Structure 1
Amino acid sequence: MHEGWYRRRGKRLVDVAGALLGLVLLSPLLLGTAVAVRLALGRPVLFRQERAGQGGGPFTLLKFRSMRDGPGEDAARLTPFGRRLRASALDELPQLLNVLRGEMSLVGPRPLPVAYAARYSPRQRLRLMARPGLAGIAQAAGRNALPWEERLEMDATYAEALCFRTDCRALLGTFGILLSGRGVHAPGHVTMPDFQPFIDNSPEKSSRK
């Protein structure tokens, strides 16, 4: 497949076809998960949050809810049901609607909070050139267990050299790590710690100031 054509038109065609097919084939699973969330956690069934899309513009991310409502830390509000839901990645399935609407892609950097965009280095900001995705090379490499610096570098590399073969490898790799159950969260966290920009405080760096 010609990579220039894939970047301009092919990737979006694959996204639309894949999202439509996924919504049809997975409709019983989507319905069953929605019912389970309703019984376990009540309303609302869907969780909505503003995330940064392509170019850094905001969009509303859709997920099945995995936490109780109310005050408190995320770890205290995350139920055993919610932990299993996140581990299975079934909570992410509503994002097929985000893909269909053109806000996300089947493959791309995972969508992160809008506030993070101001914390990126110029290199890390390259990740915003691509539509955020359901699957990705960073997901395939370790999901949430991957350190921020490594994860964002992989996203930047992906955005620079987006191609059909990389997308296929990312899809297969992401499915593999989901089936293995690895990388659900970073050590000591419900998912990932907040991203903070790296500051080099080494003596060599300080001496150049």
Structure 2
Amino acid sequence: MGREFLDIFEDWADKYDTSVTGHDEEYKEVFARYEDILQKVADLSVGNVLEFGVGTGNLTTKLLGNRLEVFGVEPSKPMRDLAVEKLGDSVSISDGDFLNFDLPSTSVHTIVSTYAFHHLTDAEKDEAVRNYGNFLPVGGKIVFADTMFEDKKAYTDTIQQSKEKGYHNLAEDLQREYYTTIGVLRSILEKYDFDVEFTRFNHFVWVMNATKK
């Protein structure tokens, strides 16, 4: 359920903001147009927002800037601490993950996440979407930005290209975590009565905008 990768984020927490702003050459393309990606997710969000993987609070800042009520979920304590330092008491952030979390007492209209859904296997992604569909209202949304691929060939080609560039940590990440394809995600979402569209922002990252029918 993604918590097997917590040690990575506990080691990376204090360097995360440096990486996402393009100062880590190996991950520069992964985070290309980072601010645009976050703003797109925020602009697609409506109503009360449940955010999975708050991280250091960068997306949360955009959501709050759009005057949205945000309820954060973050499994990494070092990340939560950094987010609280950045955001203060403007948002509540609880311990939890995509599959195990406490719903806020108010209705949730949008579920958002960036750079995190790949921590779940495809079967876990299916379980998560089914669960979200059970409590989102008609018109409710799932808006995720994440690394995903058009097909399996695009995935294997990207691993090979990363190795050829000497980006061995990136290649290892791509093989260790559970990156999936547009087709798999579309199939899962449509199975649970969501309309979905995908918008590409860089070689790695797409924004998935799903609306419950």
Larger Rg: 1
Higher helix share: 1
One fold, TM greater than 0.5? no
State TM-score, norm by structure 2.
0.28
Higher strand share: 2
